[in-house]
């Protein structure tokens, strides 16, 4: 019995010792596993793409207004309607204008009669002076009266023409062919001269209106994407002299260099511009390569099989990349993913590119 117990005891010790050795071997094998990491080459590149929405506008968008005040009698056009040059858009009530024209005609007739009377007086005084019946002073006075009558007649002619022009202004015509973007005037509305009651987008050249963020000045050139996937080059024509006080943006108008038949007024398009980020030594890295643990931004360099942190100063960011300045040579191996799990001096191995 004692021999059996001794044998069982020895067998148990053997099993426990073998299990402990197996656990130690597994622990050693786990500890010796070196994690794999994805790396990229840090490239010197301070250029990025700035994408902004733009709106297709006409080169000339003219506010349409009457040249005199009055009551709108009729409206002949609607928003979105295509119009031709000299086409009538609105009519004003002309009753007062007709009365003014008749008054100008009567004033001109009176001035003509006054001039005729003054001319007869000058002729009569000239004959009387030849016979020494009147003085030369009387003849001079008659001549001055004639000059005044002639001046009044010229003024009457001018006022009559003004009255005729006013009658013509009562019909508001399109200055050029195009499309009415907005129409606000309605029959029965009393308007003042110069008050815009419609906006005419003239046919011809089209432009792209873009609003840039306050900290980004409008670029000199760029591209606009068409619905069919093609891109057209655009050139800056004008930019606002100051940022908009409400939206804090810079308004810019870009001229399309090529054919633009596929673009319609008011269409929202995507524009692309090249943007410079920092100086010429700025590094472009994936956004996932940035690491921030409360001590400032840093990136991790793979050097001699170990991960080493390098302080970085962020210049710009977008959805996929970051532009930083760091004390790193170009084409250094940068760890791109999982940087939050790294420790200084941690052994890692790079995946094949």
- Within the chain, all domains assigned CATH 2.40.420.20 are found at 36-48+279-350
Domain 60-93+170-203 sits in CATH 2.40.50.100 = yes
Tens of pLDDT, residue by residue, the chain (353 residues): 455 444 545 555 444 444 444 444 444 444 567 788 888 887 776 667 788 999 999 999 999 999 999 999 999 999 999 999 999 999 999 999 999 999 999 999 999 999 999 999 999 888 888 888 888 898 889 899 999 999 999 999 999 999 999 999 999 999 999 999 999 999 999 999 999 999 999 998 889 999 999 888 898 999 998 877 788 899 999 999 999 999 999 999 999 887 667 788 889 999 989 876 655 567 888 888 888 888 888 888 888 888 888 888 888 777 788 888 888 877 788 888 888 888 888 888 888 76
Cβ atoms 230, 259 nearer than 8 A: no
d(CA 100, CA 82): 34
Strands 82-83 and 221-225: unpaired
CATH number assigned to the domain covering 36-48+279-350: 2.40.420.20
Range(s) for CATH 1.10.287 in the chain?
Answer: 95-169
Name the DSSP class of 336.
-
Return residue ranges of the chain for CATH 2.40.30.170: 51-59+205-275
Please answer whether residues 37 and 349 qualify as being in contact, where contact means their C-beta atoms are separated by less than 8 angstroms.
yes
Q: Hey, what are 171's tokens? A: 């019909």
* Residue 35 CA: distances (Å) to CA of 233, 338, 346, 351: 48, 11, 9, 10
297 DSSP assignment: E
Best CATH choice for the domain 51-59+205-275 from the list 2.40.30.170, 1.10.240.10, 3.50.50.60, 3.40.640.10: 2.40.30.170
The CATH classification number of 95-169 equals 1.10.287
């Amino acid at each position: 019995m004692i021999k059996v117990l001794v044998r069982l005891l020895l067998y148990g010790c053997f099993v426990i010792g073998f299990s402990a050795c197996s656990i130690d071997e597994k622990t050693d094998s786990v500890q010796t596993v070196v994690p794999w990491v994805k790396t990229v080459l840090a490239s010197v590149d301070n250029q990025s793409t700035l994408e902004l929405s733009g709106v297709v506008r006409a080169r000339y968008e003219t506010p349409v207004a009457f040249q005199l005040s009055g009551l709108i009698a009729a409206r002949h056009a609607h928003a979105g309607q295509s119009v031709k040059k000299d086409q009538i858009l609105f009519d004003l009530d002309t009753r007062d204008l007709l009365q003014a024209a008749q008054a100008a005609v009567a004033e001109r007739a009176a001035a003509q009669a006054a001039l005729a009377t003054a001319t007869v007086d000058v002729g009569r005084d000239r004959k009387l002076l030849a016979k020494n019946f009147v003085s030369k002073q009387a003849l001079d006075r008659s001549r001055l009266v004639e000059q005044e009558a002639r001046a009044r007649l010229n003024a009457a002619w001018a006022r009559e023409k003004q009255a005729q022009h006013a009658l013509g202004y009562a019909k508001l015509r399109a200055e050029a062919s195009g499309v009415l973007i907005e129409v606000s005037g309605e029959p029965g509305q009393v308007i003042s001269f110069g008050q815009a009651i419609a906006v005419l987008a003239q046919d011809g050249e089209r432009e792209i209106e873009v609003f840039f963020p306050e900290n980004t000045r409008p670029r000199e050139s760029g591209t606009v994407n068409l619905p069919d996937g093609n891109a057209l080059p655009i050139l800056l024509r004008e930019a606002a002299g100051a940022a908009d006080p409400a939206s804090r943006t810079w308004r810019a108008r870009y001229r399309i260099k090529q054919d633009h038949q596929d673009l319609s007024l008011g269409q929202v398009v995507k524009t692309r511009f090249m943007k410079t980020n920092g100086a010429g030594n700025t590094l472009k890295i994936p956004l996932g390569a940035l690491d921030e643990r409360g001590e400032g931004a840093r990136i991790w360099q793979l050097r001699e099989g170990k991960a080493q942190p390098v302080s970085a100063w962020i210049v710009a960011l977008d959805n996929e990349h970051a532009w930083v300045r760091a004390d790193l040579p170009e084409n250094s191996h940068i760890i791109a993913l999982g940087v939050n799990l790294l420790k200084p001096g941690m052994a890692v191995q790079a995946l094949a590119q």
